[in-house]
Amino acid sequence: MGNHKSRVLKDIRKHSRISVDMDCRLRSKDSDFKVIMLDISLCGAAISGTFQSSREDIPANGSKVFITLENSYLKKPLTLAGTIKNSRIGMSKQGKEVKFGIKFEDTPLGLLRLISALAQQK
């Protein structure tokens, strides 16, 4: 067995993610939702939200979205463009609980600063 490592223990992402619990806005086409960012990296993020509206309003895999962050580490709101790569839908008393995996289109300087500040905080 030697050097065999379990896939469960191996981080297969290109960039490590930092756990956060940060309010943000998710915008897709004409819809705008308040969501929570669960984690973030240079290339993407995981977010979660509760939706009371119909399934058509929930952004589908492959949808272009914009995430806007406001945080004490940022001088001004930071908007990140990305694409939904995966989503999981569950039900709760409040509505549909949806978790999204989002891949960012680019890495703006504001994102680098935010991740650096969050990493130093941990």
Domains belonging to the chain, first-starting first, are 18-121 (2.40.10.220)
**DSSP SS3 for 39:** strand
Question: Can you tell me the mean pLDDT for 41-66?
Answer: 85
Mean pLDDT of the chain: 84
Distance CA 56, CA 65 (A): 15
> What's the pTM value of the predicted model, to 2 decimals?
0.79
**DSSP SS3 for 83:** strand
| Structure confidence at residue 6 as a pLDDT band (50, 70, 90) | very low
At residue 33, does pLDDT exceed 50?
yes
Structure tokens at 90: 């569950």
Distance CA 55, CA 51 (A): 9
At residue 68, does pLDDT exceed 90?
yes
Between 60 and 51, the more confident residue is 60
Sequence-ordered alpha helix ranges (H) in 11-67: none
CA 5, chain centre distance (Å):
28
